[in-house]
Amino acid sequence: MSKSARSFVAALLCAFSVEAAAADGALEEGSEAYRQQDYAKAAELWRGLADKGDAEAQYRLGTLYAEGKGVGQNDATAMTWFLRAADKGNALAQYNAGASYAAGLGVAKSEADAAKWFKRAADQGMPYAQLNLGLMYAAGNGVPQDNTEAMKWLQLALFGLPAGGVRSDVARAIEDVSQKMTSDELREVKLRVRAFKPKPEAK
């Protein structure tokens, strides 16, 4: 994995870390330390909670290891924390686990495992996971090739993503996939998109 690819994955993973809703106490203190760029303090505060099984703290500690902020950069350790939080239903950690499997960061590359974690995050309504899952269905990577499922996830991602570059990329992917589909298949996509409701996992 090239340094630039690792940086891209880490940046994408960490883009969500401080935005997530923060609890009182050490979790919020760690968030404030992170905002002040006191990453070592954030790591210390989050580690205490992570060791006690707090999924949000586990996710955030994983992002620090992914970026090497306040701790030594270590993709394998980052993945360990992501998986612990992902197992507890944290959608951002599930996305990170999927991204790590897709890129082979800290774990053996596995498209099937990437798809599994993206699916769990996508089912919770996480748009970047929906985007990646849609692309995997379009290409048949890690899942059976299925244009109808690809279009469903790509359209859901388009609704959830902020305006800008990534959303434009999704629109192009939708156009490419739609050209390979029949009118009946496109009608089925509309039904699946309308029927979709995010299903948060029990914490």
CATH of residue 58's domain is 1.25.40.10
User: Do 114 and 171 fall into the same domain?
Assistant: yes
User: Do 100 and 19 fall into the same domain?
Assistant: yes
User: Do 93 and 116 fall into the same domain?
Assistant: no
User: Do 172 and 142 fall into the same domain?
Assistant: yes
For residue range 36-83, list pLDDT tens digits in order.
999 999 999 999 999 999 999 999 999 999 999 999 999 999 999 999
For residues 78 and 65, give the distance between their C-alpha atoms in angstroms, rounded to a whole number: 5
Q: Which domain holds residue 156?
A: 110-203
User: Do 8 and 85 fall into the same domain?
Assistant: yes
Of 109, 126, 155, which residue is a domain's last? 109
List the pLDDT tens digit at each of the 203 positions of the chain. Answer: 444 344 444 444 444 444 444 445 889 999 999 999 999 999 999 999 999 999 999 999 999 999 999 999 999 999 999 999 999 999 999 999 999 999 999 999 999 999 999 999 999 999 999 999 999 999 999 999 999 999 999 999 999 998 888 899 999 999 999 999 999 999 999 999 999 999 999 65
User: Do 95 and 105 fall into the same domain?
Assistant: yes
User: Do 103 and 114 fall into the same domain?
Assistant: no
User: Do 2 and 72 fall into the same domain?
Assistant: yes
Is pTM beyond 0.85? Reply is yes
User: Do 180 and 191 fall into the same domain?
Assistant: yes
User: Do 116 and 185 fall into the same domain?
Assistant: yes
Of 109, 127, 155, which residue is a domain's last? 109
Of 109, 125, 154, which residue is a domain's last? 109
* Long-range CB contact pairs, 107-111, < 8 A, 24+: 107/75, 107/76, 107/79, 110/142, 111/136, 111/141, 111/142
For residues 39 and 70, give the distance between their C-alpha atoms in angstroms, rounded to a whole number: 4
CB 69 within 8 A of CB 39: yes
User: Do 5 and 100 fall into the same domain?
Assistant: yes
User: Do 176 and 138 fall into the same domain?
Assistant: yes
Total domains, the chain: 2
Q: Give 56's Cβ-side CA count (13 Å radius).
A: 18
